[in-house]
Structure 1
Amino acid sequence: MAYVFPGQGSQHRGMGEGLFDAFKDLTLKADKILGYSIKELCLEDKENKLGQTQYTQPALYVVNALTYFKLIEDTGKYPDFVAGHSLGEFNALLAAGIFDFETGLEIVKYRAELMSTAVGGGMAAVIGLSLDKIKVVLKEGGFERIDIANINTPSQIVISGLKEDIERAKSVFEAAGAKNYVILKVSGAFHSRYMEDSKILFSEYIKQFHFNPPKIIVISNKTSRPYKTTEIKENMSDQITSSVMWNDSIRYIMGKGDVKITQVGPGTVVAGLVQSIKREAVPLIVEDEEYIDNKAKTDISGEQCDQNYPAEVENTSLLAAQFLGCDEFKKDYNLKYAYLAGGMYRGISSKEMIIKLARNGTMGFLGTGELSIDKIRDDIGYIQRNLASYEPYGVNLTYNYSNPDVEDKIVGVLLETGIKCIEVSAYMSLTPAIVRYKLEGLKKDNSGEIISTNRIIAKVSRPEIAEMFMSPVNEYMINKLLAEGKITAKEAEMAKEVPMADDICVEAGAGWYMDCGVSYSLMPVMLKLRDEIMKKYNYHKKIRVGAAGGIGTPEAVAAAFVLGADFILTGSINQCTVEAKISSQVKDMLQKMNVQDTEYVPSGDTFEIGGKVQVLKKGLFFPARATKLYELYRMYNSIEEINETTKRQIQDKYFKRSFNDVYRELKELLPEQEIKRSENDPKYKMKLIFKCYFKHAEDLAISGSEENRVDYQILCSSALGAFNQWVKGTDLEDWKNRHVDEIGIILMKEAAESLRKCFSKMVKTNECILRRDY
């Protein structure tokens, strides 16, 4: 798909009807930047300002943007290409994530003000003559001061120059056979040499902004080729004086195969131009220099290899990194890289972390485990205020074994705040809460295919749990939710045709709740299971399978993709970054760990069923103490049965207060039914008291208590130890230089380079064998 955005000339009173109310936050931001009501200007235009350049361009930018956001919201699908006609190109840049909504509007506002000061110029549309013929007419007629402004179609071309020249040329072009010569209602000679002063000022103005690499291919007006990251500012500035190569831009897209081109924005001008180009022109088949390079490559040994590899492998791994993983997955989640950062509990995966990742073409999940409902709501609000609606982010939901009511409340917040993607972890069975989240908003698109408004990425480490998430929800659960009025009859019917989770992430060797599996064993099994279930239920959309756990080096990333992963998800390495919401004391300890410095211990949350987590053991007493408490819980039916020496040691060393004091504090927090049960069940009471140590150990690590450092509970995997060894001796050795978005992209780039070298060497070796044998 390609989305194309209209430019100046497509504005009309009433444009944007319904959009301003649908995107109230963005509308308010636009009003603040512009200093007037954008809704009133577009819908009412009482002062007839909509036709004035300084108002037209911001208005079109806002309406184009909101139309795009609504389209993405309704379909959940992102285009492969974007382009915009003149002013519309700024909406294409927005859609590609090069800048956010507010930044784009500030830039467009300044551009519009510059262009509105242009006087003495004019423009005219010449219809019915080819570009070559127009150039001949201009040359022979002595119109050297007129430039080509827009090449809209093979037979519709706009010229630009001084007003008197444009008017004088009318009769000359009509005599030369032009079907029509329309003088446009503009005050300036846009897209010509006469805008040079504006270009210089604009170029200086945009130096203050930082632009992101494009997540979607943007076709440049200036070159009719994809934007390059290194040329973003240059292209934006040059567009003011250069021709709008619209005809070749559309031909370029046509040359990429069966691409559906859709106008996004008011009017039908651009859609009409596209149809004309399709009738009058042939596709432009381009062997892009960004993708193809025929130079000899050098393999890891330094010897020459004559195989043809993508140019980005030689020049930069950035483009190659974008090719790793499943393209459909990246498109669905609007990602540049098939790279996710998992949600770490207690908000360690902080709101700042999520924003950082989203702005760099990757996605993270807010860690909600053990956060209060109000804190979760506040953090989500902060993220939504600071990210555009198209920028990718999600929220983690961890199974709450002991208190399912909390899960239900969190899901309520997720639905209330419009969260469209969640990462679920530690689930052993489906719960009404997550089923409700998944099924709410199921709908069918125009082709009759079912679209999940709310997406779930399920982290699993066992095939039977993976099968549960890959299968449709069981009828009992559907009927239960339907009877309770939590889903509609239509949603209940559609639920039978879609999997519970949109995607699966296979956890192996991770620091969180899992079964200590090995990627090399789990991934092939899960992929085969996925294929069997796809066939069994005849799903129209592929369930993607990602890899998590043990990923801390480029080689580990590369191995995951070689195993068949559609995406990867990292965890522990993100805990030792600037953005992680955990104490600097913990980060100091984590940056010094090696691969052998972790241990599996009982999990506080799933204490009674023997759940385990991987934690840092170097310099800490927590692993031994956690294991001791679990062993005591298994051996005895009450605290009273434990010998006095052991009880005294636990109270003095672990809790630093008596069991009675711990229980007294617990009673103030527990619901009445929990208190009653603990009074009647001594083993249950012992479990609650012992669990307090785990909670206390978490609190110490989060706060960074120096006095109780040995009791820190720091969940992490050996992946962080591997990462530490990889970056040893570089700036990244110090966690203060580690930013979650940057290390993710570095890992992807280096993984791509690692694969290139590996395949290069393999090809060379095979060639040598063939030469020897034949």
Structure 2
Amino acid sequence: MITYVFPGQGSQQKGMGQGLFEQYQHLTDQADQILGYSIKKLCTELGYFDVNHTQYTQPALYVVNALSYLKKLEETGEKPDFGAGHSLGEYNALFAAGAFDFGTGLKLVKKRGELMGRITGGGMAAVIGLDKEQVASVLEEHHLHTIDVANENTPRQIVISGQKKDIEKARAVFETIQDVKLFHPLNVSGAFHSRYMNGAKQEFKQFIETFHFSPLSFPVISNVYAEPYQQERLKETLSQQMNSTVRWTDSIRFLMGRGAMEFEEVGPGKVLTGLITRIKNEAEPLTHHADSTEKNASNGQQNEQAESDAHSARMSAEITAHSLGSAEFKKDYQLTYAYLAGGMYRGIASKEMVVKMSKAGMMGFFGTGGLDLNDVEDAILSIQGELGQGQAYGINLVHNMKHIESEEKMIDLLLKHNVRHLEASAFLSVTPALVRYRAKGLKRRPNGEVTCANRIIAKISRPEVAESFMSPAPENMVEKLLRENKITTSEAELLREIPVAEDICVEADSGGHTDGGVAYSLMPAMTLLRDEMMKKYRYNKKIRVGAAGGIGTPEAAMAAFMLGADFILTGSINQCTVEAATSDRVKDLLQQMNVQDTAYAPAGDMFESGSKVQVLKKGVFFPARASKLHELYQRFGSLSEIDQKTLTQLEEKYFKRSIEKIYEDIKLHYPSAEIEKAERNPKHKMALIFRWYFRYSSQLAISGSEESKVDYQVHCGPALGAFNQWVKGSELESWRNRHVDDIGKILMTETAKLLNDRIALFSQKAL
């Protein structure tokens, strides 16, 4: 495991951040706007504001630490397992864990620096050679009751804080003690982390209440408690930090006690690296939690700490949002949460949705179904332009049985732009295009392991389809691709050792194309099949099985994870969010639906075969009208066989235009071969005209057209109805407050809480 540690005041130096400000110019500009001065000049130019003054030190360090972290994230592509920061540095650890964005953190730090900078007349000093009990004993023995212990930096480096005149008195005392190696006054203007910060703390507490904090993506160790932050007490703990002891020694001991732990300092200097080395040499790992009397000696917070102790005693056994799902899956995709958002067609799963998900440590898939290649390419370039290295995103590809060449062109586009993650939807078997995508970037490590640059997450609902994706690529396809020089001999060899998809997403009853499967039956069958395939092919790496369909509440997500899901994928609930690229009118309809407000209707892209999609039925006529069209198609051989009254009804009520005009439009957009077939085959012509209605109804919905709201075709499953009921009465009741990343974090956080509660309840019943 690895912990990133972020330095606080004392690590600042002139020239820090050089190169970073230019690399992250947009954030540098944002910082200048928030601060009202140039952060680059502050850090790099002499004669500008004094970077050693608290008011300026704290924003400067926060910005440099934050940019250093972003650079490290781009270089490694991996987030740490834990985060910690020394005093001010704790804000950077929280930023890295996603508690707030860059700008919000800077606003908090700016206020903190201003408040602490106002406190004058105080002083601090480092006592080196005594432990915290010995320092406290000296203060007690010599009646230095006006001095507090501010920092426990190492077992034998304790910083005291108080009025300047009292610090001078203490100096005279400590320098007479034999074991004191050094009494070193610090160059500060105030008595930080002491009772003298009480006023600043109260003012900051009021200020911080106006901000929103998101769930943490990995644990951050609190200076106040030397244990992981509790999400519900983030604001309170940050306020307490100003007048509480920085318990750095116990924070590092706590992390040492988690197991094999590496520490990396992120930011200017190596002050913390030195402190950690001394702590490792002088102290044992903290594998249990100290009693509350010891913990609260400095600030009299026994009641608050007792509550924290009780919480922390459960930490090792508790499930958290970031611990749900497969750790290997999250590592491979560089995710914080085992949570994905599926690719809804025609870009409803928009580039904005994908970017939001990625920046929150989750992964979304851009919905390419029904879009031309130029639109998809524009979206890919836009997404890549907004995301940094290591931030995961994917592209959805819907199988098109009638136009295989379009699938090949899409794969060409993905390979051209190095898109590494593909969501394969509605495939009935493995195709050459998917095999070619999988082959590119395959390599063998020195230890013999095969590594894959391109990953496929296959959404399936049938065991026979899952089996084909869990198997190595079909030999005949591999040989054909090899003969056509579409893959190399080395790629062909490596393809034989890995499954086509190492991640399978089991799709139960859902919006759009669905087999209406039941998760409780599908998941056990698929995980059993996975185990059999692992034995059959002796794969070195486990195939992950995720769950989708019907997930819109913590209860549903809990069921998925309890059934063995390595990750979950949501769909319908994301269509009713700010980021979804559909109309406000559709979102207004979706916000009102309940679990019973969907129906199955014929699918436009597979109209002749009678394949079904699940759609919204409340407030629209589309399901009934689509079914009527399919019924007419089955009954008659041509339009001329349908009675005039019915044809008039179709033109006036369904299509809002004549059949002749529809056919003229079809001839403009369909390949000549299709039109020639329609001229020869009246039933095929009827199918093309009826299928036009499905494209028309989809476009009506996406655009929010007033032309015929009752004809809106909106793919949706009952999960959204369940979600609507769950959030009823809360801020999320309105879709205008729903953001895909917030929904993902809240759903995972509440799922973890629910699991912990249920496990505790079962344990109590067992006793």
Distance in structure 1 (CA, Å) of the matches to 2:528 and 2:330: 22
The aligned residue for residue 697 of structure 1 is 697
Given that 2:77 and 2:334 are in contact with CA atoms closer than 8 Å, whether structure 1 keeps it comes out as no
The aligned residue for residue 262 of structure 1 is 264
Letter in 2 for 1:104: G
Shift, 1:85, TM fit: 1.3
1:659 aligns to 2:624 (yes or no)? no
Given that 2:215 and 2:749 are in contact with CA atoms closer than 8 Å, whether structure 1 keeps it comes out as no
Q: Deviation digits for residues 614-657 of structure 1, max 9, x if unmatched?
A: 22346654334434545666788876787777656544543233
Of 362-371 and 539-548, deviating more is 362-371
Q: What is the 5 A alignment of 1:269-418?
A: 269-286=271-288, 324-329=324-329, 338-349=338-349, 364-371=364-371, 396-399=396-399
The aligned residue for residue 516 of structure 2 is 516
Distance in structure 2 (CA, Å) of the matches to 1:453 and 1:15: 36
Letter in 1 for 2:280: K
TM-score where L is the length of structure 1? 0.78
Change (3 A) 1:92 1:761: closer
RMSD: 5.0
Q: Deviation digits for residues 365-403 of structure 1, max 9, x if unmatched?
A: 454433566766777788889999888766544345566
Distance in structure 1 (CA, Å) of the matches to 2:646 and 2:291: 72
Q: What is the 5 A alignment of 1:400-549?
A: 423-428=423-428, 456-470=456-470, 500-501=500-501, 503-535=503-535, 541-549=541-549
Shift, 1:558, TM fit: 3.7
Distance in structure 2 (CA, Å) of the matches to 1:172 and 1:437: 73
The aligned residue for residue 234 of structure 2 is 232
The aligned residue for residue 216 of structure 2 is 214
Secondary structure at 1:211 match in 2: coil
Secondary structure at 2:657 match in 1: coil
Q: Which runs of 5+ in 2 are unaligned?
A: 293-309
Shift, 1:275, TM fit: 2.1
Shift, 1:320, TM fit: 6.5
Distance in structure 2 (CA, Å) of the matches to 1:445 and 1:37: 47
Distance in structure 2 (CA, Å) of the matches to 1:15 and 1:556: 49
Q: What is the 5 A alignment of 1:699-738?
A: 699-705=699-705, 708-720=708-720
The aligned residue for residue 107 of structure 1 is 108
Distance in structure 2 (CA, Å) of the matches to 1:39 and 1:477: 57
Change (3 A) 1:53 1:733: closer
Secondary structure at 1:614 match in 2: strand
The aligned residue for residue 134 of structure 2 is 133
The aligned residue for residue 193 of structure 2 is 191
Distance in structure 1 (CA, Å) of the matches to 2:647 and 2:746: 50
Of 460-469 and 352-361, deviating more is 352-361
Change (3 A) 1:651 1:92: same
Shift, 1:278, TM fit: 1.6
Distance in structure 1 (CA, Å) of the matches to 2:189 and 2:436: 57
Secondary structure at 2:233 match in 1: helix
The aligned residue for residue 159 of structure 2 is 158
Distance in structure 2 (CA, Å) of the matches to 1:318 and 1:522: 28
Distance in structure 1 (CA, Å) of the matches to 2:697 and 2:228: 52
Of 696-705 and 179-188, deviating more is 179-188
Q: Deviation digits for residues 585-607 of structure 1, max 9, x if unmatched?
A: 54565566665554433322234
Determine which of 251, 254, 261 is the counterpart of 1:252. Answer: 254
Change (3 A) 1:107 1:683: same
Distance in structure 2 (CA, Å) of the matches to 1:100 and 1:276: 33
Given that 2:318 and 2:756 are in contact with CA atoms closer than 8 Å, whether structure 1 keeps it comes out as no
Of 199-208 and 398-407, deviating more is 398-407
Shift, 1:100, TM fit: 0.8
The aligned residue for residue 69 of structure 2 is 68
1:205 aligns to 2:195 (yes or no)? no
Given that 1:401 and 1:605 are in contact with CA atoms closer than 8 Å, whether structure 2 keeps it comes out as no
1:614 aligns to 2:607 (yes or no)? no
Of 568-577 and 447-456, deviating more is 447-456
Shift, 1:226, TM fit: 1.6
Secondary structure at 1:702 match in 2: helix
Distance in structure 2 (CA, Å) of the matches to 1:540 and 1:423: 23
Distance in structure 1 (CA, Å) of the matches to 2:461 and 2:20: 43
The aligned residue for residue 300 of structure 2 is none
Distance in structure 2 (CA, Å) of the matches to 1:115 and 1:603: 64
Secondary structure at 1:459 match in 2: strand
Change (3 A) 1:318 1:225: closer
Of 390-399 and 565-574, deviating more is 390-399
The aligned residue for residue 295 of structure 2 is none
The aligned residue for residue 178 of structure 1 is 180
Q: Deviation digits for residues 199-250 of structure 1, max 9, x if unmatched?
A: 3443343233111232321111122122122322222233233221110001
Of 487-496 and 572-581, deviating more is 487-496
Shift, 1:509, TM fit: 1.4
Change (3 A) 1:198 1:747: closer
Distance in structure 1 (CA, Å) of the matches to 2:449 and 2:24: 27
The aligned residue for residue 296 of structure 1 is none
The aligned residue for residue 299 of structure 2 is none
Given that 2:319 and 2:752 are in contact with CA atoms closer than 8 Å, whether structure 1 keeps it comes out as no
Letter in 2 for 1:616: L
Secondary structure at 2:512 match in 1: coil
Distance in structure 2 (CA, Å) of the matches to 1:708 and 1:609: 27
Letter in 1 for 2:88: L
Of 625-634 and 432-441, deviating more is 432-441
Shift, 1:322, TM fit: 6.4
Change (3 A) 1:22 1:615: same
Letter in 2 for 1:8: Q
Distance in structure 2 (CA, Å) of the matches to 1:676 and 1:125: 89
Letter in 2 for 1:90: Y
Shift, 1:696, TM fit: 0.7
Given that 2:659 and 2:689 are in contact with CA atoms closer than 8 Å, whether structure 1 keeps it comes out as yes
Change (3 A) 1:472 1:245: farther
Change (3 A) 1:415 1:241: farther
1:572 aligns to 2:572 (yes or no)? yes
Distance in structure 1 (CA, Å) of the matches to 2:485 and 2:56: 48
Count of residues in Structure 1 that have an aligned counterpart in Structure 2: 746
Secondary structure at 2:277 match in 1: helix
Of 658-667 and 589-598, deviating more is 589-598
Change (3 A) 1:522 1:731: same
Change (3 A) 1:621 1:76: same
Of 200-209 and 576-585, deviating more is 576-585
Of 500-509 and 571-580, deviating more is 571-580
Given that 1:312 and 1:318 are in contact with CA atoms closer than 8 Å, whether structure 2 keeps it comes out as no
Change (3 A) 1:699 1:559: same
Secondary structure at 1:601 match in 2: strand
Distance in structure 1 (CA, Å) of the matches to 2:637 and 2:213: 62
Change (3 A) 1:171 1:450: farther
TM-score where L is the length of structure 2? 0.79
The aligned residue for residue 305 of structure 2 is none
Distance in structure 1 (CA, Å) of the matches to 2:311 and 2:599: 44
Of 340-349 and 211-220, deviating more is 340-349
Distance in structure 2 (CA, Å) of the matches to 1:482 and 1:68: 44
Distance in structure 2 (CA, Å) of the matches to 1:495 and 1:18: 42
The aligned residue for residue 90 of structure 1 is 91
Letter in 2 for 1:233: K
Of 342-351 and 562-571, deviating more is 342-351
Shift, 1:122, TM fit: 3.9
Secondary structure at 2:259 match in 1: coil
Q: What is the 5 A alignment of 1:42-81?
A: 51-81=52-82
Distance in structure 2 (CA, Å) of the matches to 1:151 and 1:447: 45
Of 671-680 and 225-234, deviating more is 671-680
Distance in structure 1 (CA, Å) of the matches to 2:752 and 2:455: 28
Shift, 1:116, TM fit: 4.5
Shift, 1:83, TM fit: 0.6
